[in-house]
Amino acid sequence: MRINYTMRLGIKNFFLRFSVFDLVVMAMVASLGIAIKPLIVPLVHIITGPLFIPGGAVAGGFYMMWLVVGSGIVGKRGAASLIALVQAVMVIAVGVFGTHGIISLATYLAPGAAVDIFLLCTGQKNRNIISCFFSGMIANVTGTVLSNFVFFKLPWVPLVLALAGGALSGGLGGLLAYSIVKGFSRINISGFRISGK
């Protein structure tokens, strides 16, 4: 009984850390990540199809970048995981492109959790170019590994190509995310400022 109460208190405190502005930003970037996926993946399939590389591995950097953008703007621990959770629930509930039923909960949540673990270990807040680059890379590689494990089961050579493409794409998406986060710091919405970290 005591453990149950402590767990509920911990979950309540987790959500109370986020302001209404934070929640709105996270909902918006989660929606943008879901909306952009069906536009980018078919275009990338034109290049990756002949190489037997899943298009999501390369395209992922450009929809995983929204995890980096959201966590950079909000600047609080757990933001990337919460964005990923919102995306997973949206994909399952609405049945949009890229849904795999309840397994989507794991495949969408893992990249957000990986970003949060990276930021926790490094003490960063996705407000400099290096942390954004590596956050994007880690998110996309995590998504690629998990998707391969659950769905594709690629042989070693295509898997290595997919991971290399996913790392490059994720890093580039992280750089793009940094420019968006930097743009938000210039307009100074809700006291948001880019820090030295």
Q: Per the structure block, which two tokens stand in for 159?
A: 């898997």
Whole-structure pTM value: 0.81
User: Which range has highest mean pLDDT (36-40, 104-108, 177-181)?
Assistant: 177-181
Of 11-25, 64-78, 129-143, the one with minimum mean pLDDT is 11-25
Helix, strand or coil for residue 99? coil
* Radius of gyration over every alpha carbon of the chain, rounded to an integer in angstroms: 17
Distances (CA, A) of 179 to 29, 136, 175, 187: 15, 13, 7, 13
Mean pLDDT of the chain: 80
Q: What is the pLDDT of residue 111?
A: 93
Residue 192 is predicted with a pLDDT of 55
- Is 195 a residue whose pLDDT tops 50? no
Tens-place pLDDT, residues 6-33 = 555 555 555 567 888 888 889 999 998 8
Q: Which two tokens stand for residue 148?
A: 């391969």
Residue 196 confidence class, pLDDT cut points 50, 70, 90: very low
> What's the pLDDT score for residue 194?
52
pLDDT given at position 110: 92
Average pLDDT estimate for 142-150:
83
Per residue in 88-121, pLDDT (tens digit) is 888 888 766 555 677 878 888 999 999 999 999 9
Give the 3-state secondary structure of residue 100: strand
CA angle 103, 84, 12 (to 5 degrees): 105
All structural domains of the chain, each given as residue ranges with its CATH number in brackets, are 18-191 (1.10.1760.20)
Return the SS3 of 102.
Answer: strand
